[in-house]
Amino acid sequence: MDFQELLKQLNKCIDSLDLVSARKYIEENIDILTKNRQLLRGNTRAMFDLIKQKKDTGEKPLSRHEMTVIYSINTYATKFDLTGLKLVVNNNPELFLNEEINQYLNADAKTLLQGMKVLHKNEI
């Protein structure tokens, strides 16, 4: 794919809010886009800067499995299903070492996880 086609596809993805595809295009072509950053549109440039910053700091994005686990935690917390919540927490303790998950948890999940001593108040 040549650079003009990449720009066209990337802007099309951003305009249609297909952020997953846009992220993949950016991650696969980050070197080319770094050299030609000034040619990106505003929203595309903002997403590029965010992805580049995370890559530069060594931070890895959450996987699909981790996002599914977070969704389950939020669902169990909303339904106040403590048994299911404890089961998910016990099966995925490494997930709570990642500070990034706090922004994906809803208020119910944060409150219950604080009560279970999984999260600390100063982490949120």
pTM over 0.85? The answer is no
In one-letter notation, the amino acid at residue 9 is Q
3-class secondary structure, 54: helix
- Each residue's pLDDT tens digit in the chain (124 positions)? 788 898 999 989 888 888 888 888 888 888 999 998 888 888 889 988 988 888 888 777 778 899 999 999 999 999 999 999 999 999 999 988 888 888 889 999 999 999 998 888 775 5
pLDDT at residue 124, rounded to an integer: 54
Q: Where are the alpha helices (DSSP H) in the chain?
A: 3-15, 19-28, 30-35, 42-57, 64-79, 82-91, 107-115
Q: Which residue reads 């950053």 in tokens?
A: 37
